[in-house]
Amino acid sequence: PLLISQIAAGEVIERPASVLKELVENSLDAGARNIVVLLEEGGVRRIQVEDDGHGIHPDDLSLALQAHATSKLAATDPLNHIVTLGFRGEALASMAAVARVTVTARVAEAVHALTMTVSGGQVEGPRPAARSIGCSVVVEDLFSHTPARRKFLRSTSTEFGHCDELLRRLALAHPEVTFRLSHQGRALRHWPALTLEARVRGILGEDFLNQSLPIEDSAGPLHLSGWILHPTAASRAEQYLFVNGRFVRDRLLTQAVRQAYQDVLHGQRQPGGVLFLSLDPARVDVNVHPAKTEVRFEEGQAVFRFVWQALHKTLTRTTP
């Protein structure tokens, strides 16, 4: 079973950033308002995520580390109406197959926390521990027992870069949550819970906002908001696209944005910006692959036209 879970883990866990994504999404699902991330050696040596969410009930702690144990299916009816970020119940179990995982959690009604470690099929605990309400997960020595996977890892700075970027995306989608990130004991990011605009400023910089056009448009159930870089902006910014609050990479959306820039400006330009698209969750599949960022729209053409139009309007309004 360990080998099988190690293979299954490869589906979800490619590198430290994939672990971090699952852990932070769990914290967000748990209603955390503060999320602290501590990394060592780009996360390969250690990834620690601490939150002040609702924690894990003592009866559920060992379950949480087992495959297909999720507390989140009950809250959803058909699978395409998933509201929480996770639904597969395999992330922690997969991590435990390829790393040493320690979960320490406390719920409001408990007098103390419980901690439990799983590593290579060996279980320690649960035993009492000290911690405030919430959950901490520590993932150590990723892929140390699976050298074939470990050799795909890159340098500390590259792996850290992926983690940092992942956290940016999650932080842009959740301005209501405070995020902190440390690497090798150095505090590098602190994004306090504020407005979306302040979060964008904190992450992309004042320059980005100064050189951007706000965008806000609706058509029936489709809604688009955010900031796109002004056509004349000197700086280049990355493109962050979110669908129903989730970061996505989607050719259709990217193409709609590029097309609008091209049609208005007649130039080749890869426009930067932060865009939030929302639509009826039943009309988009955000779970094409658990670890990937693809989406599938039921009415792709309508989405394309809407996004293209919204950008086109904004760009023509401000371009002589």
Residues in touch with ligand ADP (CB under 6 A): 22, 26-27, 30, 51, 53-56, 64, 69-72, 86-93, 135
With CB under 5 to 8 Å by kind, the binding choice for 87 among ligand ADP, Mg ion, none is ligand ADP
Number of residues that bind Mg ion (CB under 5 A): 3
Q: How far is the CB of 34 from Mg ion (least distance, A)?
A: 18
Question: Distance from CA of residue 92 to its chain's centroid?
Answer: 16
The residue sitting closest to ligand ADP, measured at its beta carbon, is: 86
Residue with tokens 């448009």: 217
Bridge partners (DSSP) listed for residue 105: 114, 135
With CB under 5 to 8 Å by kind, the binding choice for 90 among Mg ion, ligand ADP, none is ligand ADP
With CB under 5 to 8 Å by kind, the binding choice for 72 among Mg ion, ligand ADP, none is ligand ADP
CB count within 10 Å of CB 17 equals 22
With CB under 5 to 8 Å by kind, the binding choice for 92 among ligand ADP, Mg ion, none is ligand ADP
Q: How far is the CB of 240 from ligand ADP (least distance, A)?
A: 23
Q: How far is the CB of 103 from ligand ADP (least distance, A)?
A: 7
Report, in angstroms and rounded to the nearest whole number, the Rg of the chain calculated over CA atoms.
21
Bridge partners (DSSP) listed for residue 100: 119, 140
Asked if 134 touches Mg ion (CB under 5 A), the answer is: no
Rounded to whole angstroms, how far apart are CA atoms 157 and 160? 5
Interacting residue with Mg ion among 10, 43, 55, 86 (CB under 5 A)? 86
* Closer of 57 and 313 to ligand ADP (Cβ): 57
With CB under 5 to 8 Å by kind, the binding choice for 88 among ligand ADP, Mg ion, none is ligand ADP
Burial 91-115 (b: 16+ CB within 10 A, else e): bbbbbbbbbbbbbbbbbeeeeebbb
- Residue 40 vs residues 45, 176, 184, 190: alpha-carbon distances, Å: 5, 26, 5, 17
The closest alpha carbon to 62, from 109, 6, 124, belongs to 124
Asked if 91 touches Mg ion (CB under 5 A), the answer is: yes
* Closer of 163 and 315 to Mg ion (Cβ): 163
- 16-75 residues in contact with Mg ion (CB under 5 A) are 26
With CB under 5 to 8 Å by kind, the binding choice for 70 among ligand ADP, Mg ion, none is ligand ADP
- Cβ-in-10-Å burial (0-12, 13-18, 19+) of 8 comes to middle
Q: What amino acid is encoded at 147 in this protein?
A: P
- Residue 271 vs residues 136, 262, 307, 319: alpha-carbon distances, Å: 38, 10, 14, 15
Instruction: List residues binding Mg ion (CB under 5 A).
Output: 26, 86, 91
